[in-house]
Amino acid sequence: MMCCTSCGIGQVDEIRLKKCTACYLVRYCSVKCQKEHRPKHKRACKKRAAELRDEILFKQPESTHLGDCPICFLPLPVAGDKSTIMECCSKIICTGCDYVNRKRDVMESLEWKCPFCRSPTPNLEDDETEKNLMKRVEANDPVAMYQMGSCFSDKGDYKTASEYWTKAAALGEVGAHYQLSVMYTEGVGVEKDKKKGVDHLEQAAIGGDPDARHNLGLIENDNGRYERAAKHFIIAAKLGCVIHWMP
């Protein structure tokens, strides 16, 4: 029978025990018991929580945070100039599929349409681009929020950029986590906070961002934790990171 770690009461129909949400090693019947037992459990809890975090952090992602092209289903290249984002549907298309689609439309004298959703998408000016992105932002599209943040960042409005990236990160946009890690580390657009910077960097690395993984390796190397640094560099290399670094 499972028992409360603090008072020893067993779990019955009217008493349901809850696990410690940090380490999942012990159970408590109430918040009071959890608080009373905290001084005895604190050290073991932190150790196990760190182990669980490392299991997630050092797990090799199946692919990069970009995923696959929705047209040809091949992995999207890490290089940013090898893919493009469709403003109508916020889908990232590889350059090959975009080229084939444009070539067909030109050869057959057709109106150019998005290769994914087939919406007519003319060449837009910067202000029109933002209006089009805003429609996707209002639909809570994390990719569009990330792109909108990039637009404001390019204009030098880092505070507004951080707000859009924060919303995108909350919705799971990995690239937004990476951008926020840079902002918090350098104190641009937000109050400088290196701990938050590392937290966002880890979230980006877990999501499959090879550059974020590489940067974590540099941080661990600077801290003298070479084994952890090597693990990060190996994962980054398998994800296609091409940044060269010499000790």
Residues 51, 66, single domain; the answer is: no
Q: What is the mean pLDDT of residues 112-129?
A: 71
Q: What is the mean pLDDT of residues 81-106?
A: 88
pLDDT of residue 85: 85
Task: Give the residue from 7, 33, 57 where a domain finishes.
Answer: 57
Give the total number of structural domains in the chain: 2
Task: Give the residue from 97, 123, 149 where a domain finishes.
Answer: 123
Instruction: Indicate the pLDDT class of residue 90, thresholds 50, 70 and 90.
Output: confident
Ramachandran category for residue 109: left, alpha or beta (phi over 0 → left; psi -120 to 50 → alpha): left
Q: How many Å apart are CA 244 and CA 233, to the nearest integer?
A: 10
pLDDT of residue 13: 63
Nearest-CA neighbor of 201 among 188, 215, 190?
215
pTM above 0.95, yes or no: no
pLDDT of residue 9: 86
Residue 247 confidence (pLDDT) above 50: no
pLDDT of 155-209, one tens digit each?
999 999 999 999 999 999 999 999 999 999 999 999 999 999 999 999 999 999 9
pLDDT of residue 219: 94
Nearest-CA neighbor of 189 among 157, 221, 228?
157
In a domain, 4, yes or no: no
Residues 42, 82, single domain; the answer is: no
pLDDT of residue 12: 77
CATH value at residue 90:
3.30.40
pLDDT of 23-80, one tens digit each?
998 999 999 999 999 999 999 999 999 999 999 999 998 888 988 999 999 999 887 7
Instruction: Indicate the pLDDT class of residue 246, thresholds 50, 70 and 90.
Output: very low
Domain encompassing residue 96: 62-123
Check if the beta carbon of residue 17 is closer than 8 Å to that of residue 29: yes
Instruction: Indicate the pLDDT class of residue 129, thresholds 50, 70 and 90.
Output: low
